[in-house]
Each structure stands twice: as structure tokens, then as C-alpha cells.
Amino acid sequence: MDECIAREERFAGGEFEGREAVLTQEALLLKTKILGGKGNLSGRDREQGINRYRNFLTVCISCFVLVILFALAGCSKGPPAAGEPLPKFTLSDLKGRKITAPDDFIGKVMIIRFWEEGCKSCVKEMPMIDDIYNRHKERGLIILAVNVGQSKDVVEAFVTKLHLSYPVLLDAKSVTAKRYGIKAVPFTLIVDRKGIVRKRVLGETEGEAFEKMVNDLLQ
């Protein structure tokens, strides 16, 4: 999940600076040839040389900008905030069915919870969330538990052990988690019937407070 951060550091540090140093050296050499001045350049040639030098610097600056933009492409600025539409994603469930949120669940209140099998808070809270799901699913509640970075076998064994009844999705390569800017689990997004994020919760959720948030949106 730290790929974006590493990429930023890489291009803000040695790798980018190394390229900058090479291009800067080339620019200085060109400048020396043009402006070094042993008196053997005519005024016209000198002016053309200066223009070439300026154009070269413009190209260098453009290259720097493109390198940075390319390096940071796809890195999320952070999880969607309250009031923003939920960014669309498609993942497979444990039966191999493709699930697309929010498109498949417009008109329902969605709880999207990112988790891992080794997360103690996740293990502690998932049965409680399952209970809330079973009591409110007929009113239009859907819970999507997105497992981050683990294999289907690991997830399936965990779900079977806890007897979870809500949909569990596989983000085995953490693509969706990275795109959402999620760097720690559990992380929960509460989304209204129109697909708008209403609340986000990092860490544990209290049962009563959590259920109240759900109830408020189900009204």
C-alpha cells in the first residue's frame, strides 16, 4: 500500500535528482559552447545559440514535469471524503462473481469495510457487523467487506470460521485500496442510497454508534 509514497520519494529524491543533474550538466555544456565566448561567434550566431539554449532549457523543464506527473499517476490523494461520490470499483466475491460499487447498489445504504485476516480489530468487529447486517438488510443495507492483499484460500477459511453472511470481496493485489489511498485497516466507508460517502472511519467502530449511523441513513 506504500507504492505511491515510495514512488513520490523516489522521484523527489535520488532518481529524479540524478536525471536533473545529467540534464543540467548537458545544459551547462551547451551554454559554455554558446556563451563561453572565445570571440569566434558572430552576433547573429550568438543570438541563435542563445535561443537554442533557451529552447533546450524549456525542453528540460517540460521533461521534469512529465516525469513527476507520470510517476504520481494513479496515486490517490486520500480516501474519498464525506460529501463526495464513492469512486467506482469492480471486484470479485468468493464465488467469482463481479461486484461493482456503487452501481450495483444504488438505492441501498452501503458499508464498505477494508480489512485483513491478521487485523485484530477486524476479527473482533466482523461478527458484530454481521449481526447488524442481518437485522437491517431487509431495509436496504448492504455490507461489502473488501479483503486487502490476501489470497482467496486465506479469506475463504476466515469467512467460514466466523460464519459471515455478508458479501466478501477480494482485492488480492491491493489495487482498489491503493486507488482509494487506504494505508491502514480496518477502514470503513458509509455510503448513502445515492452513492455519496457520508462518513469514513479509520480503526474500530463502536457497535451502538455504528448502528445509529446506519439507522439514520436507512430512515
Q: pLDDT tens digits, residue range 171-194?
A: 999 999 999 999 999 999 999 999
3-state secondary structure of 56: helix
- Residue 16: strand pairing partners: none
Pair 48, 40: CB distance under 8 Å: no
Q: pLDDT tens digits, residue range 119-152?
A: 988 888 999 999 999 999 999 999 999 999 999 9
> Which of the two residues, 123 and 68, has the higher pLDDT score?
123
Pair 191, 146: CB distance under 8 Å: no
pTM: 0.66
3-state secondary structure of 193: coil
Three cell numbers written together for 208: 451502538
